[in-house]
Amino acid sequence: MRGSSPEAPQPASLGPWRLTGVVARTDLFTIYRARPAEQAASAGDLYAVKVLNERWQESAAAAAMLRSEAAVGRQVTHPNLAPVLSYRLDEWPPFVVTPYYSGGTLQERLARGWRPGVEGALWIARQTAQALDALFRPHGWMHSDLKPANLHVAAGGHVTVLDMGLARPAGRGASLAERPIAGTLHYMAPEAITSPLAADIRSDLFSLGVILYELLAGRLPHDGDDPAQLAALKRDQAAPPLHSFAPRVPPDVARLVHACLAKEPLRRPQTPAELVERLVRLEIEYFARSL
């Protein structure tokens, strides 16, 4: 990934949207808080506008990320997926609009040392799997970049899966050169690293397994700063037993986590619906134990 570009002055508006502040800047995009231009400020800035940065104006791959996000928004609606409310793709600058989610991402919570416990971890995983199921069935989409930075967890525990920019129909691969690696490689399935064309919905389930392991153990199953070394670890070494770091996790929960982390996709849950069913069953069993 290229280095971050200098910050450009914030525009006052884009199309029908009044921009009121920067939420985040990445190499590719700037995300602004916004409200409809005709709406009074007292109504609040309840929207987020993701805008392609000027340096990528000639990049078809960067523009395709916004097109993917808009395409998912046209096809899929689910309570655990961030809806795309509006978009502009054929004028400069292109942008998509979603609700603004306050309170930070799961990554920000984890960075503060937050741990949800077994019940909370299962609930987060089950809601995320429900979002994947909505993408996959009947539309055939996979998220392709599932990680804590792309999960919003509200104060009441509701999970919203964010950022569909790398979503694609299962079976349509993408090279590593086309995707942002920083902060992502830790959550990628082995086959998505070694042969992107082999990635399918089970690769998303591997990523969710990494997240669930991290929620329960307080650490990643494989870690490291060197991309080549990390890729080799994920390819060649099984995840350390979850009980080594979280001995109080019920064995059936640990077994499901390690099933999601299987290096062979055929040994993982095969669909998000199957994973949802297994997580619901574990939630019920765990709740019964705690009575």
At 12 the pLDDT is: 84
**pLDDT tens per residue across span 248-263:** 999 999 999 999 999 9
Asked if pLDDT for residue 268 goes beyond 50, the answer is yes
Q: How many CA atoms lie within 13 A of 186 on its CB side?
A: 19
H/E stretch holding 152 reads strand 151-153
169: confidence class by pLDDT, cuts 50, 70, 90 = confident
Whether residue 93 is preceded by a cis peptide bond, meaning omega within 30 degrees of 0, is: yes
The answer to whether the beta carbons of residues 107 and 149 sit under 8 Å apart is yes
Regarding predicted confidence, which is higher, 233 or 76?
76
**Distance (Å) of CA 158 to CA 86, 130, 154, 272:** 23, 12, 5, 18
Alpha-carbon dihedral sign for residues 212, 213, 215, 221: negative
Active-site residue identified among 45, 90, 133, 145: 145
Helix (H) or strand (E) holding 2: none
Q: Domains, the chain, ranges and CATH? A: 13-99 (3.30.200.20), 106-290 (1.10.510.10)
Identify whether 145 is a catalytic site residue: yes
Token reading at 13: 């508006």
Q: Note the pLDDT tens digit of each residue in 35-64.
A: 998 887 777 779 999 999 999 988 888 888
Q: What are the backbone dihedrals phi and psi of residue 34, each rounded to the nearest 5 degrees, phi first? A: -155, 165
Residue 188, pLDDT > 70, answer yes
Q: Tell me: the pLDDT tens digits for 213-232?
A: 999 999 999 887 778 888 88
| Residue 105 clears pLDDT 90, i.e. is over it | yes
Q: Give Cα 78 distance to the centre of its chain.
A: 15
pLDDT value of residue 291: 60
Q: How confident is the model at residue 4 (pLDDT cuts 50, 70, 90)?
A: very low
In the chain, the N- to C-terminal Cα span, in Å, equals 50
